[in-house]
Amino acid sequence: MRRSGLVLLCLWFFCCAIVCGQEVNQKNKSLQFSGGLNAYAGIYTSSGIPGRNQPNPFGLSGAITLTLPGGISLPFSAVLGNQGASFRQPFNQFGVSPTYKWATAHAGYRNVSFSPFTLAGHTFLGGGVELNPGMLRLGAVYGRFNKAISTTLSDPDVIPSFKRTGYAVKVGYGKPGNYVDLVMLRARDDTNSIDRVHISPEKYITPAENMVIGLTSRLLLVKHILIEADLAASSYTRDLSASAVQVEGKNPLFRLVGKLITPRLSTQLTQATQAALGYQGKWGSVKFQYKRIDPNFQTMGAYYFQSDIQSYTGNVALNLLKGKARLAGSYGRQFDNLAQNKNARTGRSVGSMMVSLNPDPTLGFDISLSNYGLSQRAGLRPLIDTLRIAQNNLSATANLRYSIFDKDYSHIFTLTGSHQQLSDLNANTAVQTENNSQNANLGYFLQANQSGFGANLLLSYTQTSLPTVTTTHDKLKFYGPTLGSNYAFFKRKITTSANLSYLVNKQQDVTGKVLTATLNAGYQLAKRQNISINLSYLKSDTGVQAEKFNEFRGNIGYGISF
């Protein structure tokens, strides 16, 4: 098996070389080829630790993309070497969506989105069509949403799943950015698609059915006011073998669903809503958002939903001083336990603010603040103080930049500082959770406009106080410089770069040092051929004798593209 795979890889590389050697007029040919081949060889040595790579790695890698008429791309890639071999091709899941004027067809493996709470990007195997003649918006898809997978005695760890087929339809009116769509999705598991005899109790599954009716819209009422709304009602039956029941009550939604499906004891009707109202003008923008998703809301047209949440969010952005200053802020609240059936209700608050000043093209200042709060209150049962969660996470960042530009050189100076702090409002747990950290970076960047020479210097300092720290001397500190440079020779046919970093870390009475050095060079042999050399050295000394080690890596490569 290994020998046949090796032969296949060699034949593939041979075919790529033939294609590369042919001169194809891309404008006159319906098929187009693109890609490249790379050969590499290297050396690796280490001391103080077991080797993390092979001493002399070498190999051959390549990629080719075949573009068919209509823009259909088929990518292939392969790797062959003493570190392993692999081959990738796109035919495990292949699909096309050709478009002609206002019509788009879907065939094969596709993921289509009609609305956030109905069909929202779930991959299916089948077909469909989307038509947008004028103001009309029509769409329909049908296919297999899940493949049947059975657990066997020889492979009991496989997670089983039923074959699931479904369809979705969309009818709407409007244009992109200003429309109203009505969407329906219905999907059902095939109860006879797998053998459930050998399924273990912990992996036992039941066939399900789902129908979702949704409304999605984006409405531009006047020139600057936008309304967004996404609504959906989902009827989800978790077990098709459960007894059927009669729909009762005056709720028209329940009565409608009762006529379209067979309600069962395992059927649950849930709703999801999200809406936004926004205004945007020259001075800035304002937007208010609301979201509510019932507990256990699900749709078979999406992979995951965060359910049991209700949130309110407001956003404001202001353009000041004729565009030289910008102020933006947002605040939101979120809650769970909408059905009031949990032991505790968790609330979250998120606030942020950003200020940007650019009085001159060479001078700029930015500052951002964010605050994340988390708290709990009693639900079905009283909360124990020692277990109650009440935390506040504050983050602040400031950045100052200054530039000097002239005919020959460009100089850029940057100064950045940040502070992060986790405060525990529960005195019983604060000792184990509270922490804070500060970081400062001073940078200088030089670029020669004519020669292409560049250099940079970065000085960094980080200080962290962990929950176990009891004195200021126990703080964990990192600091050190990083120096880099790049230059191009011989009309930029040879490019080089080098970087050197030296980082010191201190905690209590232990001092560690890490030295990292890299050197890269490349030579353009021809228009589509190049040679590259990469060298790197790592010396780590954590302050503990048994943890000292050195590593060296070297690599030379040749590449050709076509």
Q: Look at residue 11 in the predicted model and tell me its pLDDT.
A: 44
Q: Token match 């126990």: residue? A: 474
CA-closest candidate to residue 486, choices 454, 514, 444: 454
pLDDT in tens, the chain (562 residues): 444 444 444 444 444 444 444 433 334 346 787 889 999 999 999 998 888 888 888 999 888 888 876 666 778 888 888 877 877 766 677 788 888 899 999 999 999 999 999 999 999 999 999 999 999 999 999 999 999 988 776 676 778 889 999 999 999 999 988 999 999 999 999 998 887 766 677 778 899 999 999 999 999 888 889 999 999 999 999 999 899 888 766 667 767 777 788 888 999 999 999 999 999 988 999 999 999 999 999 999 999 888 999 999 999 999 998 889 999 999 999 999 998 888 888 999 999 999 999 998 899 999 999 999 888 888 777 777 777 788 889 999 999 999 999 888 999 999 999 999 988 887 777 777 888 899 999 999 999 988 889 999 999 999 988 775 454 446 889 999 999 999 988 888 899 999 999 999 988 778 899 999 999 999 988 888 999 999 999 999 887 777 889 999 999 999 998 8
Give the per-residue pLDDT at 226.
93
Torsions phi, psi of 12, nearest 5?
-65, -45
CB 130 within 8 A of CB 104: yes
Q: Which residues lie below 8 Å from residue 129, measured CB to CB, with a gap of 6+?
A: 103, 104, 105, 106, 138, 139, 140, 141
Separation CA 369–CA 356 (nearest Å): 12
Length of the chain, in residues = 562
pLDDT at site 70: 61
Q: How far apart are CA 180 and CA 136, in angstroms?
A: 10
What's the pLDDT score for residue 1? 41
Query: Where in 406-528 does DSSP place strands (E)?
Result: 409-424, 435-448, 454-465, 476-489, 494-507, 510-526
Q: Give the pLDDT score at 158.
A: 79
């070498």: which residue's tokens?
58
The one-letter code for the residue type at 184 is M
Question: Residue 223 burial by CB count (10 A; 0-12/13-18/19+): exposed, middle or buried?
Answer: exposed
pLDDT in tens, 29-64: 467 878 899 999 999 999 988 888 888 889 998 888
